[in-house]
């Protein structure tokens, strides 16, 4: 089974509307001559305040999909400051990132909340990008695999095989995020293969073969080729290097040098 690679830019809490517009136009310009059938699926995740603008800028291009960085699991109600899946669909989002370690760490998001969000996103017709990852302390104490496996089991709990197959997982070791220190490609691939195995245990092998699992953590133009040459790494979730059109575009083109 060939899984279409994904190159996803998570802009985090950056960019006023003007910055988002120039970044989007820079990406569109950089990928305009690429053959779409050979391209990865390119996803960008601006802040909520730039979604409407970016959505308009990319509406005539089939080469970029839009993602939000978070959502609430309820469809409406008294949840001041929150945003529903329906609102994000209305803005043209196809994906929603959930369970990012920054949300787990700074906003106390639990596995249970992430599972409710995954269900709500799929019920609303969008696709979740579910993040998981261990801290340095967990890695050093040898509990990486059991921690990640438990995050994945919780996030996917109660989903049908069909829903799991179209979801996306991002393995982002916390110690590699924004530190410039990428996880060794072979080790990232080992953890991602382990995640695929957990998916197989809770669903079946064709579901595990279909789900796309990305690596995230200090991905740069210089690292992506090696990462994409690994058997189980299906793409990347990119923070810092997605904030400049040049480096994001270079990541996309470098990723295409690897035959899938």
Positions marked active-site: 100, 172
Q: Give me the long-range contacts of 189-193 (CB less than 8 A, separation at least 24).
A: 189/230, 189/231, 189/232, 189/233, 191/144, 191/145, 191/148, 192/230, 192/232, 192/233, 193/231, 193/232
The angle formed by the CA atoms of residues 39, 48 and 210, to the nearest 5 degrees, is 35
**Nearer to ligand 13P (CB atom), residue 207 or residue 247:** 247
Sign of CA dihedral 189, 174, 80, 20: negative
- Minimum distance, C-beta of residue 221 to ligand 13P, in the bound complex (Å): 12
CB of 219 to ligand 13P, least distance (A): 5
Nearer to ligand 13P by Cβ, of 103 and 203: the residue is 103
> CB nearest ligand 13P: which residue?
239
CA–CA distance, 55 with 65 (Å, rounded to integer): 9
Question: From the CB of 248, what's the least distance to ligand 13P, in Å?
Answer: 11
> DSSP per residue over 241-258, as a string?
GGSSHHHHHHHHHHHTTS
- Give the nearer residue to ligand 13P in terms of CB position, either 128 or 216: 216
Output the CA angle 226-229-235, nearest 5 degrees. 90
Shortest CB 212 distance to ligand 13P, Å: 15
96 has which bridge partners? 68, 128
Q: In whole angstroms, what is the distance from residue 229 CA to residue 83 CA?
A: 37
Choose between 203 and 211: whose C-beta lies nearer to ligand 13P: 211
Burial label for 107, CB within 10 Å (0-12, 13-18, 19+), is: exposed
Residues lying near ligand 13P in the complex (CB under 6 A): 10, 100, 172, 177-178, 216-219, 237-241
Nearer to ligand 13P, 203 or 224 (CB): 224
Q: In angstroms, rounded to a whole number, what is the distance separating the alpha carbons of residues 156 and 150?
A: 10
In the bound state with ligand 13P, the residue whose beta carbon lies nearer, of 8 and 57, is 8
In whole angstroms, how close is the CB of 108 to ligand 13P at the nearest point? 18
- Give the largest Cα separation in the chain, rounded: 49
> C-beta of 19: minimal distance to ligand 13P in Å?
16
């Amino acid at each position: 089974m060939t899984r279409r690679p994904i190159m996803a830019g998570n802009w985090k809490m950056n960019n006023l509307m003007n910055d988002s517009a120039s970044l989007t136009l820079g990406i569109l310009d950089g990928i305009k001559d690429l053959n779409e059938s050979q391209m990865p699926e390119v996803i960008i995740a601006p802040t909520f305040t730039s979604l409407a603008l970016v959505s308009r800028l990319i509406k005539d291009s089939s080469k970029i999909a839009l993602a939000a960085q978070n959502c609430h699991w309820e469809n409406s109600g008294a949840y001041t400051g929150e945003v529903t899946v329906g609102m994000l669909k209305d803005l043209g989002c196809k994906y929603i990132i959930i369970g990012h370690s920054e949300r787990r760490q700074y906003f106390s998001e639990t596995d249970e909340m992430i599972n409710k969000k995954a269900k709500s996103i799929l019920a609303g017709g969008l696709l979740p990008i579910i993040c998981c990852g261990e801290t340095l302390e967990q890695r050093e104490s040898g509990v990486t695999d059991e921690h990640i496996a438990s995050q994945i089991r919780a996030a996917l709990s109660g989903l049908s095989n069909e829903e799991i197959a179209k979801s996306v997982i991002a393995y982002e070791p916390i110690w590699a995020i924004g530190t410039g220190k990428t996880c060794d490609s072979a080790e990232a691939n080992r953890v991602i293969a382990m995640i695929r195995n957990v998916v197989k245990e809770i669903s079946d092998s064709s579901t595990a073969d279909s789900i796309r699992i990305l690596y995230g953590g200090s991905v740069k133009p210089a690292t992506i080729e090696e990462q994409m040459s690994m058997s189980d790494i299906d793409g990347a979730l990119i923070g810092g290097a997605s904030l400049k059109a040049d480096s994001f575009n270079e990541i996309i083109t470098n990723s295409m040098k690897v035959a899938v």
